[in-house]
A = this chain, B = another copy of it.
């Protein structure tokens, strides 16, 4: 049997309202009674039932974080950014990983909706986000990392994916490459598409032709990256430079290249997307395009908070890109 506020009140010889007021500091209670109540609370290790409180107050001080990707460094850092900021603001975090499963994502949404959380930060599995429009008018939602403009009334916090695609391609072109391949994990998602757009733009500015066949898909894992390079290089013999969309795939690609005795960067130069701790001590040290996942996470939570306070409020934040130049791109 769990102890309730009523029990505390009874033992202290006061009403539940009084107990509630001392716990929440909502009204002044005589010192004597206050102390007595506090003592009893201490004695029983009592803490108020948040379920009841939530129901009564119509909020839960909890945010939902729905991520879709396999936990690479980027997503992981983003999650901890959101968690950190939520904690600072007195919120809890409900974490859901949809594993790139669209249907699960939609189900989860129905579950979270309606007061189990005060709002949701979503990194969607796909670009089919119209289903969100049934919620966004009355329920705070912010899209993170991946974004789709068809979603109305939702805020968004992303990195500047166009620029990292553009800068990476341009850098390779400056190294003299004309045939630059891209290895990505999921298509039709703003992160991937924006990067490809940037890449195309850099190609165009330099009078290079875009080949759809220079793009290769793979699972966002070490194995996926290995498989993808192998099949891409087998199909497109002219490719001399690679842009790889996440850290695990980059690692897989490098392993495979080494296995095939293809020298980096002499035979195939390479730029990874998303910085990870070991980049500088890999041979060769990896050049990475980086977006700030921790900051994206923190900003996403702030954005959600604004929407919880005012559902009409909306903003689209795009955080700037940067580049860590090391040697895998051909620099020295």
Flag whether A255 is at the interface (Cβ < 8 A): yes
| A32-57 Cβ-contact flags toward B at 8 Å (1 or 0) | 00000000000001111111101100
- Flag whether A281 is at the interface (Cβ < 8 A): yes
Q: Is the CB of B96 within 8 A of A51?
A: no
Q: Is the CB of A116 within 8 A of B50?
A: yes
The contact sample of 15 A-B pairs, CB cut-off 8 A, is A50-B114, A51-B54, A51-B55, A51-B115, A71-B76, A76-B76, A79-B95, A83-B97, A84-B97, A87-B96, A94-B95, A248-B277, A251-B278, A258-B281, A281-B283
Q: How far is the CA of A2 from the CA of B76 in the complex (A)?
A: 34
| A interface residues, tally (CB under 8 Å) | 51
- A265 sits at the interface (CB 8 A): no
- A324 interface residue per 8 A CB criterion: no
CB-CB < 8 A to A92: which residues of B?
94, 96, 111, 116
A314 to B237: give the CA distance in the assembly, Å: 60
- Chain B residues in 8 Å Cβ range of A278: 251, 276, 278, 282
Closest chain-B Cβ to A21's Cβ sits at a distance in Å of 19
**A248 neighbours in B (Cβ, 8 Å):** 277
A103-117 toward B: CB 8 Å interface, digit per residue (1/0)? 000000011011110
- CB nearest neighbor in B for A1: B138
- Report if A62 contacts B (CB, 8 A): yes
Contact A113 B47 (CB under 8 A): yes
Does A193 lie at the interface of the complex (its beta carbon under 8 Å from any beta carbon of B)? no
Indicate whether A60 reaches chain B with its CB closer than 8 angstroms. yes
- Give 1 or 0 for each of A207-219: 1 = CB within 8 Å of chain B CB: 0000000000000
Chain B nearest Cβ from A194, distance in angstroms: 26
Taking the complex as formed, is A319 at the interface, i.e. its CB lies under 8 A from any CB of chain B? no
A178 nearest CB across to chain B (Å): 27
Minimum CB distance partner of A285 in chain B = B283
